[in-house]
Structures are given as C-alpha cells and as structure tokens.
Amino acid sequence: MKKYILCLIATSLLITNCGLFKNKKRKALTLETPMLSKNWTYLSARLDAKTQIQGSNQTLGISLRMKKDSITWFSVSAMFGIQIAKGLMTADSIWLLNKFSKEYYAMSMDDISKISGADVNLNQLQNALVGASIFDTPTQYVQDSTGYIGIQDIFSNFLQLHSDNSIAKSTLTKSVNKDTMLFEYSSQLDAGSFWVPENIAMNGKSDKKNIHIDLKYKTVNDNIITSFPFVIPSGYKKR
C-alpha cells in the first residue's frame, strides 16, 4: 500500500475538462522566437498516465485543473474510471485523499520533497506540465551551441528545442548531489490561448529512487475555472 500511495503522490506532482478541444492551425515560429515561457492563467485537462516507481507499475486516468502560480486540483482514476484518489496542491501544501483506505494525507511541500527525493515547487511543476521553461522571470536563460540554460540557486535547467522552437527536452539538475529530472515533450495540442505538449515523458534520478512517468493529454482547454472542489469526507483518518 505504501508503494501505491507513493505512486499516487508522485503522479500528482508531476501532473476536469470544461470544454471541447478545438483543432486550429499552428502559427509558424522563427528561430528568433523560442517558446521558453508561456502566458496562461487556467488549464483544464484529462490525461492518461503510466507510472513506474520503485518497481510499482500503474496505468491511471487523471483529471487536472490548474490556476497558474496558485493552485492545482487533480483526480486520479484506475480501470473502468473508478476514482481512487483526489488531491489539492497550493504553493506550500498538498492534500491527498485515498478513497480505497478512506484516509487522507496533509503535507507541506517540504514533506513532499522528502518523499519524492527532489525539491518541489508548485510553479515549477506547473511549468513542466505545460511544456514551459522550469524557471520564470527574472531568471534569464542563456543560449549556447546546443540549447538554453537557466540557473536558480543550486538548480540548473537545460532546454533543447524542436525545429519549431517549442521545448523538446527540459533537464532540471541539482548541483549539490546531481539529482536530475528530465522532461521530454512531443506533439502539440491547442489549449485555446496557448499550446501544451501532447506527450510528456518524465524520468527522475536520485540516490534514493528512480521514477518514470508517461503522460498523454487527451483533452485540454484554458476556460476560466470557477471551483476546485475538495472536501475531506467524514470518517476519513489522517495519515
């Protein structure tokens, strides 16, 4: 059960459709306009997820709602659409319901960092999920012969681009112990006012554990989200 809960938490970190996906022709980009950051406020999506964490493999469905720099809400379903977990993440905390055991977890982001083996930041996780540079301004990215690199405190983020200047690979490295998280992006889906990568492959390596997660966006839009419903039911025990 502990491995199963770890899988849910890790999936929630490294991840309800309010409208239909619309097909639009993508505007061409030039070499002078790399898509390192993205301007967005809301995102609603449905995703398929396959996880490999400490020998535990899971195939899951995820409903996702995000407000940039503020909140991430998610619901996780197993086979036949049975909801098995639900969570809410803010800048400093995360709450997770385990609907199997009728338990809930309330943790600080520091707690999550210890569980996942990596320092966790809501803003950076949201950036990773929309295929943007991990760091926002004022961090500056400097171009070299193979890509772009940004440095923030003890972390570096190296970006390699597709031919259309969207991000192909994003590597986050911690200089102290060389822990790494690699995000690989392919294809693009129109969310309305911005684009997200259709496929995201995540590979995390540290001295504590290795994590691999494949995400595939099924539907996505940028409609205004009016609620992030999350209530701890009566009778649930805190873990």
Neighbour count for residue 147 (Cβ, 10 Å): 18
Q: What is the pLDDT of residues 89-142, one digit of tens each?
A: 999 999 999 998 999 999 898 887 776 555 668 999 999 999 999 998 788 899
What's the residue count for the chain? 239
How many percent of the chain have pLDDT more than 90? 58
Give the E-state strand segments of the chain in sequence order. 42-53, 56-67, 71-77, 83-90, 93-98, 103-108, 141-143, 148-152, 155-161, 167-174, 180-190, 195-205, 210-221, 237-238
Rounded distance between C-alpha atoms, residue 54 and residue 104, angstroms: 22
Domain architecture of the chain: domains with CATH: 2-238 (2.50.20.10)
Q: What is the mean pLDDT of residues 1-11?
A: 47
pLDDT, tens digit (0-9, with 9 covering 90-100), for 17-59: 232 223 333 333 333 446 688 999 999 999 999 998 777 888 9
Q: Does the pLDDT at position 163 exceed 60?
A: yes
Distance CA 89, CA 220 (A): 19
